[in-house]
Amino acid sequence: MEFSIKPGSPEKQRSGCVVVGVFEGGKLSAAAQALDKAAKHYLSDIIAHGDMNGKAATTLLLHNVPNIPSERVLLLGLGKSTEFKDKQFLDAVRAALRAVQSTGAKDATLYVTDLPVTGRDAAWCITQTVLAAFETTYRFDRLKSKAEKNTKGPQKIHFGLIDGKQNTILKTTLEQAVAIAHGMKLAKDLGNLPGNICTPSYLAAQALTLGKTHKSIKTKVLEEKDMLKLGMGSFLSVTRGSDEPAKLITMEYQGGNKKQKPIVLIGKGITFDTGGISLKPGAEMDEMKYDMCGAASVLGTLQAVAEMNLPLNVVGIIPTCENMPSGTATKPGDIVTSMSGQTIEILNTDAEGRLILCDALTYAGKFDPDTVVDIATLTGACVIALGHIASGLFSNQETLAQELLAAGNQVHDRAWQLPLWEDYQPLLDSNFADMQNIGGRAGGTITAACFLARFTKDYRWAHLDIAGTAWKSGKEKGATGRPVPLLAQYLINRAAANN
Ligand code: BES
Ligand code: MN
Ligand code: ZN
């Protein structure tokens, strides 16, 4: 799919399909008014006859509208103009994209930047429409013996601009949105791949490919023997039961000057989480192939950053392995020594994410980071707390927390902050080691974050628990590509603040 910005009024466009908005009650958007005027009230007559009432996310496709050079006009219902916010805009745009995709139009020109979304500007409308276009056309059919043909629908999408003044800024916005969408696609593809294909070695190969495609990215892969030398006893305890070799992947993107401290992103890369000896119940266990979505989001974000050429230094770190039961697997009660020197009593082998992350967090210190953000499908408790809408956010520094929350709000990939208070720390006390790896059922998301906090004392750090947001279950089962938008937007904002 190709995207472009097309200045000019809609009645002058020669397009396969022009899309304009109508509010409930028949009020026309600015673009719809221009069309209606040129078409001598053809549109307002149709509305008056009751064929389009402007109800939210409804559409009406018209052919051969008088005096309009475009082949089709799609009227898009927007709902009540007083209630036109993020969700209403997104629902409407998805409906429009689906409607346009079911036509034979070769291209479509969308007038979305003139829609008055409360608190949002033209750039926001463009970004969200690009992300929605990728979302509605995404298929993961490479493992079906016959690929489902998806050739229908326009290959080109133009953003019509009645007011051409913002043209140059919006061009950058558009390019960045496409880079984010590509990053999300990479994250989704990796997430959706099954555990027998997407192994730690497969993720390492993907990271090496990213380094080959982008000169600005240098990838290195550490093997188990290297991790042993580094003293990563915690990480290695998780992979003990698996026949697949664990990998520690680092990807260094250099877009700023050498001296600039990097922002480090760490992604949990459990390519399958059986729970280990503390075996998970069978129902929906297949979804634990998604336990590497943190890693996938790091790969997707680094790709986006490279595609955008952001003037920043970013390091991606991915600890990746399987969590399997076997005769060599770690047992409940086993005590291991982490790279930091702190000892951990493993009371539940299913709390493995924190065990691989803690060593990666210590390793991150080697990069003298400005900021470290880890991203992990860490706890089922986070799904209970926040559902599938918001990711859980924790930070040891309030400015960083606010910046990440703001980035998420900006790009509609939202997070919600939870407390990291010291008062929770005693729940991790162990009789036999420096700490235990679980804190009990109550506040399970918080105690998991508190565990990680014990390894991040030397730098500014935030943790995103994406257990509820990285994939969808049920009929629409599939990876979402989150939180690539949040992370990419945060980095865009950081780059802008530097310059
Ligand atoms: N990968 C899971 C977390 C998870 C579970 C994410 C379900 C999404 C859906 C993680 O490794 C895990 O098993 N966590 C345990 C921790 C517990 C043993 C303290 C959990 O959440 O049950
Ligand atoms: Mn687990
Ligand atoms: Zn897990």
Q: Whose CA is nearest to atom 3 of ligand 1?
A: 379
Q: What average pLDDT does this structure show over 482-496?
A: 98
Active site residue 354: yes
Q: Which atom of ligand 1 is nearest to the CA of 323?
A: 11
pTM of the predicted structure, to 2 decimals: 0.98
Q: Which atom of ligand 1 is nearest to the CA of 438?
A: 19
The whole-angstrom separation of Cα 490 and Cα 496 is 10
The whole-angstrom separation of Cα 316 and Cα 393 is 19
- For the stretch 324-351, pLDDT in tens is 999 999 999 999 999 999 999 999 999 9
Cβ 380 under 6 angstroms from ligand 1: yes
**Which ligand minimizes its atom distance to the CA of 285?**
1
Q: Which of 234, 322, 350 to mutate to test the pocket of ligand 1 (most atoms within 8 A of CB)?
A: 350
Residue 499 has pLDDT above 80, yes or no: no
pLDDT of residue 150: 63
Residue 250 has pLDDT above 90, yes or no: yes
Percent of the chain that is helix, strand, coil (3-state, to 5): 40, 20, 40
* CA 263 to centroid of ligand 1, rounded, Å: 27
**Which ligand minimizes its atom distance to the CA of 381?**
1
The whole-angstrom separation of Cα 416 and Cα 405 is 7
DSSP 9: -
Share of the chain above pLDDT 90, in %: 96
Residue 151 has pLDDT above 70, yes or no: no
- For the stretch 21-79, pLDDT in tens is 999 999 999 999 999 999 999 999 999 999 999 999 999 999 999 999 999 999 999 99
Residue 378 has pLDDT above 70, yes or no: yes
The whole-angstrom separation of Cα 58 and Cα 335 is 59
Rg (C-alpha) for the chain, rounded Å, is 25
- For the stretch 281-307, pLDDT in tens is 999 999 999 999 999 999 999 999 999
- For the stretch 305-315, pLDDT in tens is 999 999 999 99
Residue 354 has pLDDT above 90, yes or no: yes
- For the stretch 412-443, pLDDT in tens is 999 999 999 999 999 999 999 999 999 999 99
Residue 83 has pLDDT above 80, yes or no: yes
Cβ 381 under 6 angstroms from ligand 1: yes
Nearest to 7 by CA among 133, 142, 169, 154: 169
Q: What average pLDDT does this structure show over 93-112?
A: 97
Q: What average pLDDT does this structure show over 362-390?
A: 98
* CA 289 to centroid of ligand 3, rounded, Å: 9
Residue 164 has pLDDT above 80, yes or no: no
Cβ 438 under 6 angstroms from ligand 1: yes
pLDDT of residue 166: 79
**Whether the Cβ atoms of residue 8 and residue 167 lie closer than 8 Å to each other:** no
Question: Contacts by 330-336 with C-beta closer than 8 Å and gap 24+?
Answer: 330/237, 330/238, 330/240, 330/241, 330/276, 330/277, 331/277, 332/277, 332/278, 334/237, 335/432, 335/433, 336/233, 336/234, 336/236, 336/237
pLDDT of residue 163: 81
Point out the catalytic residue in the list 185, 354, 454, 494.
354
Region class of 340: left (phi > 0), else alpha (psi between -120 and 50), else beta: alpha
Q: What average pLDDT does this structure show over 392-406?
A: 98
Task: Tell me what the pLDDT averaged over the chain comes to.
Answer: 97
**Whether the Cβ atoms of residue 390 and residue 303 lie closer than 8 Å to each other:** no
Q: Ion ligand 3 — residues with CB under 5 Å? A: 270, 273, 291, 353
Cβ 350 under 6 angstroms from ligand 1: yes
User: H-helix or E-strand containing 406?
Assistant: helix 398-410
Q: Whose CA is nearest to atom 8 of ligand 1?
A: 467
- For the stretch 448-478, pLDDT in tens is 999 999 999 999 999 999 999 999 999 999 9
Q: Whose CA is nearest to atom 5 of ligand 1?
A: 380
Cβ 467 under 6 angstroms from ligand 1: yes
